[in-house]
Structure formats: C-alpha cells, structure tokens
Structure 1
Amino acid sequence: MKERLWTRDFILLGWVNLLMFGSFFFLLPTLPLYVTEELGGRENQVGLIIGVFAIAAIIARPWTGMLLDQWGRRKLMLVSLVLFVFATAGYFGAVTLILLLILRLVHGAIFGMASTASGTVAADLVPASRRGEGLGYFGTFIILAMVAGPSVGLKLADFGYGYLFAGSLTTALLGLVLALFIRYPGNSGTGRVDFRISPNQWKQLIDKGSIPFAASLVGLAVIFGGITSFISLYAAELGDPGLAGGYFFVYALALVLARVVAGRVHDRWGPDTVVYPGLVFYAVGLIFLGLAEGMFLFYTAAAFIGLGYGSIQPSVQAIIIQQAPENRRGAATATFFMALDLGIGAGSFLLGFVSQWLGYRGMYLFCLLFALLSATQYWRARKGSLREERGGGLQRTGS
C-alpha cells in the first residue's frame, strides 16, 4: 500500500510556494522592460539586474541550509517569508538603476532563504518511497505560478508598473498568511544558532556529496538565465512583445506534464530513463527557439524546453535528496539551489554580451554548448553514483 502523499500540510506548502513564486514570476518578464523603458537601461544592465538576484540567492542558500538544521524549519520558513514581503514592497521605491540593483541583491538573498526552506520542508513531508513523484508534484505548484505569473505581470504592467508591484506584493503576503497554518515536521533544530562561519565550518554549508549532480544542472540554468532575461526583448524583436507571456504559459504547461509523468517513471525505472530523453528534448527546443520567426516555432520551442527541463530537474533533485542523510537535507537542498542560482546568474550576465555579439537567435543556438556540458556532467555523476551503490548502498551516513 502506498504511503499517503497529499496531506493537508503538503497541499498548504504547495500553495505557499505557488504564491511566493507567483510574486516572483510577476516580475520575471516585466523587469527587463522596466529597466529599458522606465530607467533607460541597456541589455548588459538588464542582464546584471536579473543576474544579481540569483547571485545573492547563492550567497544566502548555504547559511539557510545550515540554519534550517540548527534553528528548525518553522522559524526560518516564516522569518524568510516576512522578509520576502518587505523586499517585494521595496520595488515601489526602486526608481533608479542603482536602487533597483541594491533591491535585487536584497530580494535575491531573501528569495534564496525562502525557497531553500520550502524545498527542505517539502522533502520532509514527502514519503521516502514516493520522493521522486512527490517532489515532482511539489514542483508543479511552482509551474502553476509560471503558467499565470508572467502573463498576469505583463497585463498589470500595461496598466502601470505601480499595479505590477502591488500585485506582486499582495501575492507574497497571501503566501505568508497560509504558511502560518502549516505543521512543520522533520528536523526541529538543535536549539543552538550560530551565525559565525569559521573556515572549518564551510563544509556544513554545502553538502559535498550533492555537488556532482547539482553541477549537472548549471549548464541548463545558464540557458534559463538567458531565456528569462531576454525572452521579452526577443519577442519584441519578432514584432509581438506579448509572445513572452505565451512562451512562459506553454513552457509551464509542458513542465507540469513532464513532472507528473517523469516523477512516476523515475521512481519505477530510475532517473536515466527520464534525464537522457529530457536532455534531447531540451536541445531540440533550443534549436527551434533560435530558428523562430513567429508564434509557431516560438511556442513549440517553449514546449520542448519545458518537457526537457521538467523531466530533468525533479529527477536530479530526488537523487540529491535521496543520497543525503536526514540531518544534511537542508544543506543538500541549499547545494541544489545554489547550482541553479549560479547558472542563472552567470547566464543572465554573460549571455547579455553574447546577445550583443550574435543577436538573440545566435545566442540561443550558442546555448546548445551548455546543454552538452550538462549532459556530460550528469553522465559522470551518474557513473560515480552507481559505483558507490555497488560499493555499499545509496544513502550516505551523516556525521
């Protein structure tokens, strides 16, 4: 008999994540337009504004992973969501590029805290026997935010950026309210909190055993950084800025479909049956995106990339969580998200220069190189993991 997955707390946590990421996705396709239209920024500045958010999240996630294991899930989750609400309110005052850059640093760090906390709580709530399926469903709540968030954000921006920021703030606040009603399981903390980090404590911030698989996502995250930073500007170049909202809608629907199916396939037949086909879909999608002349190939690219990434990401996350001992899941989750943030931040910034060199079409075709690098790293990580399994079991022991 299967262990129960859809508990009250799992559903509530899913809604919290949907609202938190919904607030985030309101801003994702609109901030590049805000920077260029309202603040007079250039393409490389767009990349910096988007990328610095992810870099700040990288800085915050290791401490968050450690504090989750020290302070406990509930306290850190609620504190990070309160700070997230305040940071979202700050966009009303971000009226210059410098102010917006500073706010993005702060907002990114807080988002890193909140998303690491929610991901760790999800891992605690999901039964071990259904972890691939459960994390796939949990990720679907994020994808639902992606379905509506960009389109709603672009529509609100049509009325004015004040309406956009108000919508983002209201959504974040609703997420905080729902989080108050979750019963948080798992690690309740050691009771001792120490913010000081000595050189000998760095190993507590990052889960070393999670690095090989986390690294396999960096290349795909670089590509995602380029897509999120410039897809709105690419759509405008094609003659229809509204294509950007449709891109995220199609992409998100494909992600939902992939996650629902891939999670079950992962649990039954293993991750390779999901990840390798996902990489092929991802590469085909990039080719379509680079060749797009209008709506058809633009949205077809979104579907292929969504099917690919929706298969790959939850499977790799499940491997990372499954291999980590319970008292290191916070650090393992932080390591996983740090890899994504590193790639997104680097991609947003560096691909801005590539787009100036090759144009948007050439940039997305150039991204095939990063997909190949991710595929190679996954193969290497999987090879090492199978060797360890044969040598003495899947899950590492804590220390």
Structure 2
Amino acid sequence: MGIHPIRFLRIMGLLDGISLITLLFISMPLKYFADLPQFVSVNGSIHGGIFMIYFLAIILVQLRIQWNIGWSFLAILAAFIPFSNFVLEIKLKKMQPLLHTKPFPKHWLVYAIIFFSFFDLFVQLPVMSTYALSVGASVFIAGIVVGLYSFMNTFGNIFSGVFTDKIGAFRILVFGLFTSAMSLLCYQLVDNTAVLLIVRCIHGFSSGFITPAAFTLLANMRTAKEQGSGSAVTGSFVGIAAIVGPASSGILASKISVPNVLSLVALYGIILLIGLLLFLRKSPLPKRKKKETSEKLQWNNGILKAYCGAFFLMFSQGVLAYLLPIYVQDLGYGARMSGTLLSVFGIVAVLIFVLPTNKIFDYFDAQFTLLIGVLLLGIAQIGIGLTSEMTWLYAILALYGVGFAFLFPSINAILIEATTEKIRGKAYGYFYAFFSFGVVAGSSVLGTLNLVGTSGFLFTGILLFSFCGFISFSLFRSDASLVKAKA
C-alpha cells in the first residue's frame, strides 16, 4: 500500500510550517540585525521548494480524497500564517482514519481544462498591448492585437459547438488543447507586427474550441439537481483564473520575456492534453441512429435569456476592464490600486462559488438568481461612477463580485435546462460566442460613444437595468400563465 494522501499532506504541511517559521524568525532577523542576507536566500529557496510540494500534496488530496474544496483553500491559507500548519496537522490527524481514497474524478480534469482556457485569456491582459508595441506596432494596431483574440474566439466557439454535437466533446477538446498550445509556442516566432496578427488569429480561433466542449462535457456529467451548484464550482475556476492570471503574467513578464511566459502556459496545456488522453479517452461519442435526423437548436425563451445574460455579463466586464483603470488614475491612484480592486471582486465571487453558499443555486429558480445578479451588477456600475472614496469603491467592487457570482451559474443552469444533450454542444458554442463578443462590445461601444468616467458607468448601469426589466417581465408573464393554467 502507498502512503495515504492525507499523511503525505500532513508531512509536507509540517515541513512547510517549520521552514516558514525559520524564515520569519531566524533568517529574517539575521539579515536585518546581523547583516547576513545569505540565510534568507538559502532558507527562502528551501521554503519555496517545500511549498510547491505542499501545494501538489493539496491537489493530490483533492483528487483522491475528494473532500470539500473549502478544506483545500484552508490548507493553502495555512501556509501563509505562522503556526497554522501545526493547528491544521492536529485536525488532519483526527480526520485521516475517516477519509478514504476514491477513483480519479474525471470532472476535475475538465475543471483544470476550463481553468487553462480562462487562464490563457487573463494572462494576456497586462502584457499583450505593451508586447505589441515592442515588436513595432502602433498604438492603433496594438488595440487591434488585443481585441483580435476575443474576435476570433467567437468563431472558434461556434465551430466548437457545432462539431461537439457531431463528433463528441473529447475529440474537440483534444484538437483545442493541441492547437492552442502550439499557437502559444508560436509567439516565439514573432518578430514583426504582421506575424503577431497572424498568431493572434490562430491563437484566438483555436482557444475558442476548448470552453464550449468542456462545459458541455461537464453539464452531461451532472445530474439535473446538481446543475446550479455545479455551475457555481465551475465559475470558481473562472474566478481564480481572473485573479491569478494577470498577477502571475505581470510578475513573470518582469523576469522573462512575454513569449516565454506564454510558452509556460503552453506547457500547462500540453500536460492537460496528456491527462485528457490518459483518463478521458474512453468518453463515449454521441449516440445517433442511422435514420435519425439531427435535432435543430430552437431559440426558446430560456436560451435567449442565457445568451443575453452571457453578453451583458461580459459587456459589463469589458467596461470594467476598460474604464476602471482610467477612473482610478483620474482619482489620483496608480495602476496597482485598480488591480487590487479587481482582485476584490474576483475573491468575493470565488468565495460564494466554493463555500456552502453555492447551494443557493440548487434551491432557487435560476431565472430569479439571474435577475438578482444583473440587478447587483447594474447597481455596482452606477455606484462606481458616483463614488470617489476608495473605501466605498472596495465595497462596491465586492457587491459587483456578488452579482457576478449570482449571474454566472444562473445563465449556465438556464441554458442546460433549455437544451437537450443532442444540441447542448451547439448551444454552448453560441453561448460562448456571445461571451467573447460581449467583451469586445463593452470596451468598443464606450470608446465609440466617447463615454469615459462617470458617464460610461452610468450608461452601463442603465443598460443592465433594461435587461432586468426584460427578465422581470418574462417572470411575470410566466407566473401569470401558470395561474391561468391552474384556473
């Protein structure tokens, strides 16, 4: 028998805790009070190596024990607080006899693929415009380079949806991961603007194949009762990518070149591709009888709400990414402050996704939580435009995070409820096409109308309130129809 995953985590946790304490209470004082910086260098390197193994141990436990994901986040948090590892060790020792290993959870591999898809997107945000300028692009062309990825993503999403229903999500994921990884490596060949534009087209189109196929595969793995909370867990990986992606690329780009940063992302994609071939290769293809005609996508009320929700969610995101840094700068703060504000919204959304609060989406009707989410986003957009105090901005961005957390799983649950497995791939293809188009529209519409600062946030808030009116009218009409049918 091999070592129990919990025991391995306990060992690495103790080592991590000891190395953190020696770094903070021995090496750091020696550096500042005895002028011996070499102790920090050696201890810091050892602690970094131990933490990486400790982090891998947490992933191993999550995959093999499949405990509540909140425990994994708690274990990560313990690594940053002195003596917390020792407190966690006492709890894990009591829990170990009660926790048994389980078969490899295939859905976690799909979660990792979804994280890769959005991580790939968010990694580019802080570095792509400056990288385009560094290879000779003008400011105008640099803007095209940034937007071209999402524009081509739209076409990849649609193609992915169509072919997922025909040949299965597994094959589409293999194609998407392989071509996306190769396109990321192609940034090493960029030496002028023309080549960069070609690579951006290929990268955006190939990456567009991943998300619809992955979400379709996950939706078909879940039961009907799990769709709401399951979509919330999926949303947590999107939120984590939104937090980790920009920060990690900014840090890495200051140490290594942008093409090398993107090559590291490609390596992650290749590892996922190998895992996909090893663990999901036997995924069945869609079953179709020879004489069966293919089912067509019917644009019913549920699909329309899901698509509009996806568009307005990402329209709001595009506005936030475009206006918030400018707005914060006009208030007299630096770029770091806008990044911190965006992190607050992401952290709040992820907490709602992973904590027991995600059960809300199983208990309440998805159309009701959709209405709440859009309403909160609208209030937050207007609130940002009317606020100049930083404390209030933090509170409003937290409110925005709550709105995002309500909206994302709701539109996924509505789409799943409104479709069958035979057309779900195509439905998700168009769904994420609206997603990609919303990002482009958010910044470009406000740029075209020359709406900046307060006017831009007010315009977006009013637009979101208009969508709230549509949802409310639809809910009222459906309730009236139900009452009439009972009568």
Query: If the TM-score is normalised by the length of the shorter chain, which range does it land in?
Result: 0.7 to 0.9
- CA 21–351 in structure 1, closer or farther in 2 if over 3 Å, else same: same
Structure 2 Cα separation of the partners of residues 244 and 46 of structure 1? 21
- CA 36–190 in structure 1, closer or farther in 2 if over 3 Å, else same: same
Code of the aligned partner of 1:128: A
Q: How does 1:263-302 map to 2 (within 5 A)?
A: 263-291=358-386, 293=388, 295-302=390-397
**1:334 equivalent in structure 2:** 429
- What is the CA distance between 1:155 and its match in structure 2? 1.4
- What is the CA distance between 1:377 and its match in structure 2? 3.6
Asked if the contact 1:220/1:374 (under 8 Å) is kept, the reply is: no
- CA 152–105 in structure 1, closer or farther in 2 if over 3 Å, else same: same
Structure 2 Cα separation of the partners of residues 152 and 80 of structure 1? 23
Asked if the contact 1:120/1:333 (under 8 Å) is kept, the reply is: yes
Structure 1 Cα separation of the partners of residues 284 and 477 of structure 2? 29
Find 2:277's aligned residue among 171, 180, 193: 180
Structure 1 Cα separation of the partners of residues 283 and 478 of structure 2? 26
Structure 2 Cα separation of the partners of residues 279 and 58 of structure 1? 23
Structure 1 Cα separation of the partners of residues 280 and 113 of structure 2? 13
Asked if the contact 1:217/1:374 (under 8 Å) is kept, the reply is: no
**1:364 equivalent in structure 2:** 457
**1:100 equivalent in structure 2:** 196
Find 1:250's aligned residue among 341, 344, 356: 344
- What is the CA distance between 1:82 and its match in structure 2? 0.4
Give ranges in structure 2 of 5+ residues lacking alignment. 1-66, 70-103
Q: Does 1:168 align with 2:265?
A: yes
Q: Does 1:312 align with 2:407?
A: yes
- CA 18–37 in structure 1, closer or farther in 2 if over 3 Å, else same: same
Q: C-alpha deviations, 1:277-318, integer Å up to 9, x for none?
A: 322321232134334557544443432222111211211210
**2:39 equivalent in structure 1:** none
**1:111 equivalent in structure 2:** 207
Find 1:16's aligned residue among 96, 113, 116: 113
Asked if the contact 1:132/1:264 (under 8 Å) is kept, the reply is: yes
Structure 2 Cα separation of the partners of residues 302 and 16 of structure 1? 28
Q: Does 1:227 align with 2:323?
A: no
Asked if the contact 2:180/2:266 (under 8 Å) is kept, the reply is: no
Structure 2 Cα separation of the partners of residues 324 and 317 of structure 1? 11
**2:169 equivalent in structure 1:** 73
- CA 318–57 in structure 1, closer or farther in 2 if over 3 Å, else same: same
**2:86 equivalent in structure 1:** none
TM-score by length of 1: 0.81
Count of aligned residue pairs for this structure pair: 377
- What is the CA distance between 1:223 and its match in structure 2? 2.1
- CA 27–338 in structure 1, closer or farther in 2 if over 3 Å, else same: same
Give ranges in structure 1 of 5+ residues lacking alignment. 193-199, 393-399
- CA 191–84 in structure 1, closer or farther in 2 if over 3 Å, else same: farther
Matched-pair identity in %: 19
Structure 2 Cα separation of the partners of residues 40 and 109 of structure 1? 21
Q: Does 1:208 align with 2:305?
A: no
Three-state SS of the structure 2 residue aligned to 1:306 is helix
Three-state SS of the structure 2 residue aligned to 1:324 is coil
Please report the RMSD computed on the Cα atoms of aligned residues, expressed in angstroms.
3.4
Q: Does 1:64 align with 2:160?
A: yes
TM-score by length of 2: 0.68
**2:235 equivalent in structure 1:** 139
**Larger Rg computed on CA atoms:** 2
